[in-house]
Chain A
Amino acid sequence: MGISTVNKGSNIILFVGGGLFIFMLASLVMMSQALQNSALFDRYYSVLLILNAIGLISLVVLILLNLKRLIRQFKNKIVGSRMTVRMVILFSLLSVTPVLIVYYFSLDFLHRGIDSWFDLRVEQALDDSLELSRLALDVRMRELLTTTEKIADELRGISDAELPFDIDQIRERVSAYELTLLNKKGGVIVSSSSDTKSLVPDTPGETILLQLLQRNSYIGLDVIKNRNLLIRVVANLPGLNIEKEARIVQALYPISERMNQLAENVQSSFIEYKELSYLREQLKVSFIIILTLVLLFSVFSAVWAAFYSARKLSEPVKNLAEGTKAIALGDYSARLPVPGNDELGFLVASFNDMTDKISKARDTIKQSQQETESQRNFLETVLSRLSSGVIVFNIEGYLEKTNVSAAQILQIDIDSLEQKNISMLAEKFPNLKDFFECISSNIEEHLDEWREQITLPNKTGNQILIINGAALTGPDGQASGYVIVFDEITALIRGQRDAAWSEMARRLAHEIKNPLTPIQLAAERLRHKYLSTLDPDDADMLDRMTNTIIQQVDTMKEMVNSFSDYARSPEFNPEDIKVEQLIQEGRDLFSDMNSGNQIEIDIEPDLPIIFGDEKKLRQVFNNLITNAVDANAMGDNKRLLISAKSIMIDGEKIVEIRITDNGTGIDPSVINKLFEPYITTKQKGTGLGLAIVKKIIDEHSGTVWLENNNDQNGACAVIRLPVIHQSNKATKSQAI
């Protein structure tokens, strides 16, 4: 649309400019013709002059408008304006310079040419020829004067009645064109003419009549009634009574055709020369005006044409520049108008082809990017929803991608993994050193696929991970990176272990506990039946042995019951529990037992109420306090601290209970294994106390771990229980 409008405007300008050019050219031709006495254009000289001036002003206005537009474009740094300026200056110089040179020499030739028309000798010759003509006629005129004066004498003797008849004869005799008798005032008395169509005779003028009054005859050349040259002779009629009877006679004599023609030629040449000599300077001015008009017309036309041509030539270049700019800004839709079949047209057509191809390539790239983005989003979604941890390293060992599950499993911030290589990660996270070393060693071996299981030490126990690794293959078939997929199987292992222990407990109950009662009964019967019958030594020995059997069977029964309790999952009855109350009960119980321990309590005021099974949690506290008391048993300073406070972890409110003893501490090699069944550091004990604690805390969605005190002796058992909101209690209850 824009290009179409521009073309239309350009055509209008061309049409107007062309029209003005033709008009002015025709006008100048007509002016030139008018100066050369052309009858056709003579009357329109002034109009043509004004029209030419208007045409020139129009051209000047056109040029000024073009100039103004060009200056504005140049100031605004419009593309192509510099080129247009250069071309306008070049075209103008090329066209104006020769015209100015021609103008200069034309002016010189004009002055010389017009001056050369006039020569004193020619002028003298013309004067002489005119004088010669007069002299040639003068002889004839004098003869005719004599003849006329004779006619006057003759007419004096003729009566008025005879005059009309005799005057014709006299006229014919002297070969006059017209013979007229008049009174002194010029009134016609009688007249005779050879021209029968002439009804009114020609009369002499007042000057002639005045001359005759002075008794002088008149003779002269004259042109009468559109005829050729005639000789007019006027003479007085001699009379006695001049005042009353004075009359004059006028005779008009024709001159020969040849003489008439020659005289007319001489006169017209004389007039023409005189006219030219008079118009000498005006002619120069007029020719200079026309020449200047032609010059200005040529110059202005050339300058305007320079503007037009420069604009037309720079238009494709300007379009190309704008098209390039549009492409740089990402707009490939513009199609440039092809200016023609020349090289510039070929260039523009090539540009259009290039734009088209770039546009298609861009669309293809955009489509590919969209597909890639779609695949990436799909992958991101899959990765984010994947419970397995995924980490991608590039070929140089730098981490490129990971997912949320990886951070959750490794219990680290996902942002802290960015732009780090494996060794950096191993240094940054010492507790994950084994994990990253495992990956690093497998990568270094350039294995295409590998699988390993590792155990990471953790506050809440060992974390078991199973890691799968695979090399990523690039387009060239070479490894471009490594993808690591890992899962935490701690819960799975623990479940399997719990199931195994449960099965063992069930078998113990079934296979061991059942025979224990008959053994105990049999031992009691043996004692009862034979104790009284045996001698005192034997009886004493029997008594000790049966007692041993009975006690050991009881011990075995207790052990089996403990296993049974561990394996069995009694009904979970959650309710609101005040933790401080449970702690107080525990302290009171152990204070009453006179264990010698000094039990201190540090409970935060307004500790939140937790939601759980009171009996089970009481068992947890009893077990842990028992362990702490046992740990203090060997030491002198039997001090026990039970503290409770609320903390915020990941926006979740947690109640943390710490039971700190003052004993010898825990061997770090077993500190993470103590929650496993049948692992204990005590001489006595089933090894199930902490396992039960772990099981109950897990049931409450809490965490429990053991840690050695850093600044002093002893160890600390830490329990963290979530404060469940009232609205979530039902869900929690159902989940448990």
Chain B
Amino acid sequence: MVSSMLVLKRNNIMTALKNTYSQTSLLLILLCISHGCFASTTQFKHAHTYLKNNTYYLDAVYDFELTEEAYKALRHGISFEIHTHFQLRMKRKWLWDKLITEKTLIYKLEHKPLTENYLTINLTTGLRHSYDSLDAALSHIRDISNMSLFDQALLTEDNTYVARIRAFLDIESLPPPMRPQSYFSSNWDMSSEWYRWELVR
């Protein structure tokens, strides 16, 4: 109920809700379910693309911290998949933006109790990196540099494009018993909003 009230204050919707208690409660429950009762701390600091040899590359840095519950799970042998999802969309006047291309960078994060290391595995390339601290492992995941995105030929001069990127912990990568409650728990909401910037050829 306390969390519900917080949401209520934050969204400043109390004034709009002058109906019965049950209606208010129902709406709050729906808000909690759809967005979580706390906002995620995951967010992009910066991201930009640059052209090199007719190919666009991405450099991006975002904040990504494990929640206490997630850290506990990691230390108990649960591995995570952290997705960084990039999309290039073409703006259109009357219709919604058209998806031109998209690319996803997936890192798997594990804890190795024998060595007390944290292992990151790039599931696209298969490259592994071992770190003796969680922060070092997360830094490897959070700092994206020189990520090849798409060929320049995909862009035309007449159009305006929107690049956007977001990062999130894939709930579906968790063990099945954890998934149902993870979808509705703020402890496992580690997804960022879309970070957007415009692209013109």
Give the interface residue-count category, chain A.
35 or more
Verify B183–A263 contact, CB threshold 8 A. no
Q: Which segment of A43-51, A570-578, A613-621, A723-731 sits at the interface?
A: A43-51
Verify B177–A133 contact, CB threshold 8 A. no
List residues of chain B with CB within 8 A of the CB of A271: 77, 113
Given contacts A133-B114, A271-B77, A274-B76, contact A205 B177 (CB under 8 A): no
User: Does any Cβ of B come within 8 Å of A272's Cβ?
Assistant: yes
Verify A34–B119 contact, CB threshold 8 A. no
User: Does any Cβ of A come within 8 Å of B181's Cβ?
Assistant: yes
Verify B113–A274 contact, CB threshold 8 A. yes
B127: shortest Cβ distance to chain A, in Å? 8
List residues of chain B with CB within 8 A of the CB of A274: 75-77, 113
Verify B128–A225 contact, CB threshold 8 A. yes
Verify B115–A35 contact, CB threshold 8 A. no
Instruction: Name the contact of A285 in the complex, choosing from B114, B133, B177 (C-beta under 8 A).
Output: B177
List residues of chain A with CB within 8 A of the CB of B117: 220-223
Give the interface residue-count category, chain B.
20 to 34
Instruction: Name the contact of A42 in the complex, choosing from B73, B119, B176 (C-beta under 8 A).
Output: B176
Verify B115–A220 contact, CB threshold 8 A. yes
List residues of chain B with CB within 8 A of the CB of A35: 176-177
Residue of B nearest to A289 (CB): B180
Interface residues of B in 116-159 (CB under 8 A from A): 117, 119, 126-128, 130-133, 136
List residues of chain A with CB within 8 A of the CB of B59: none
Verify B179–A45 contact, CB threshold 8 A. yes
Verify B132–A220 contact, CB threshold 8 A. yes
Q: Is the interface of B mostly helix, strand, loop or mixed?
A: mixed
Instruction: Name the contact of B177 in the complex, choosing from A266, A270, A283 (C-beta under 8 A).
Output: A283
Instruction: Name the contact of B132 in the complex, choosing from A205, A275, A283 (C-beta under 8 A).
Output: A205
User: Does any Cβ of B come within 8 Å of A341's Cβ?
Assistant: no
User: Does any Cβ of B come within 8 Å of A76's Cβ?
Assistant: no
User: Does any Cβ of A come within 8 Å of B201's Cβ?
Assistant: no
Given contacts A226-B126, A275-B175, contact A270 B113 (CB under 8 A): yes
User: Does any Cβ of A come within 8 Å of B103's Cβ?
Assistant: no
List residues of chain B with CB within 8 A of the CB of A285: 177, 180-181
Number of contacts between A and B (CB, 8 Å)? Answer: 93
Instruction: Name the contact of A279 in the complex, choosing from B113, B133, B175 (C-beta under 8 A).
Output: B175
Instruction: Name the contact of B76 in the complex, choosing from A133, A134, A267, A275 (C-beta under 8 A).
Output: A275
A45: shortest Cβ distance to chain B, in Å? 4
Complex Cα spacing A550 to B126, Å:
179
Verify A134–B114 contact, CB threshold 8 A. yes
Verify B136–A206 contact, CB threshold 8 A. yes
Complex Cα spacing A263 to B114, Å:
8
Verify B128–A223 contact, CB threshold 8 A. yes
Kindly supply a per-residue 1/0 record for chain A positions 120-131, scoring 1 wherever the CB is within 8 Å of any chain B CB and 0 otherwise.
000000000010
User: Does any Cβ of A come within 8 Å of B112's Cβ?
Assistant: yes
Complex Cα spacing A272 to B113, Å:
11
Verify B180–A49 contact, CB threshold 8 A. yes
Kindly supply a per-residue 1/0 record for chain B positions 63-80, scoring 1 wherever the CB is within 8 Å of any chain A CB and 0 otherwise.
000000000110111100
Residue of B nearest to A222 (CB): B130
Verify B177–A224 contact, CB threshold 8 A. no
Given contacts A46-B183, A130-B113, A133-B114, contact A286 B176 (CB under 8 A): yes
User: Does any Cβ of B come within 8 Å of A277's Cβ?
Assistant: yes
Complex Cα spacing A2 to B10, Å:
62
Complex Cα spacing A8 to B23, Å:
44
Complex Cα spacing A286 to B115, Å:
32
List residues of chain A with CB within 8 A of the CB of B72: 278
Complex Cα spacing A366 to B45, Å:
100
User: Does any Cβ of B come within 8 Å of A395's Cβ?
Assistant: no
User: Does any Cβ of A come within 8 Å of B193's Cβ?
Assistant: no
User: Does any Cβ of B come within 8 Å of A175's Cβ?
Assistant: no
B129: shortest Cβ distance to chain A, in Å? 8
A449: shortest Cβ distance to chain B, in Å? 102
User: Does any Cβ of A come within 8 Å of B178's Cβ?
Assistant: yes
Verify A267–B112 contact, CB threshold 8 A. yes
List residues of chain B with CB within 8 A of the CB of A286: 176-177, 180
Kindly supply a per-residue 1/0 record for chain A positions 274-314, scoring 1 wherever the CB is within 8 Å of any chain B CB and 0 otherwise.
11011100110110010000000000000000000000000
Verify A46–B177 contact, CB threshold 8 A. no
List residues of chain B with CB within 8 A of the CB of A133: 114
Best-surrounded residue of A45, A134, A206, A225 (most CB of chain B within 10 A): A45
Best-surrounded residue of B75, B113, B127 (most CB of chain A within 10 A): B113
Interface residues of B in 65-107 (CB under 8 A from A): 72-73, 75-78
CB<8 Å pairs between A and B, sample of 19? A45-B176, A46-B172, A49-B179, A49-B180, A208-B132, A222-B130, A223-B112, A223-B128, A224-B130, A225-B128, A229-B114, A263-B114, A270-B113, A271-B113, A274-B76, A275-B77, A278-B78, A279-B78, A282-B177
Q: Which 4 A-B pairs have the closest CB atoms?
A: A278-B76, A271-B77, A45-B176, A282-B177
Task: Contacts A49-B180, A275-B76, A275-B175 known; list 13 others, CB within 8 Å.
Answer: A43-B172, A206-B136, A220-B132, A223-B130, A225-B128, A266-B114, A270-B113, A272-B77, A275-B77, A277-B76, A278-B76, A286-B176, A289-B180
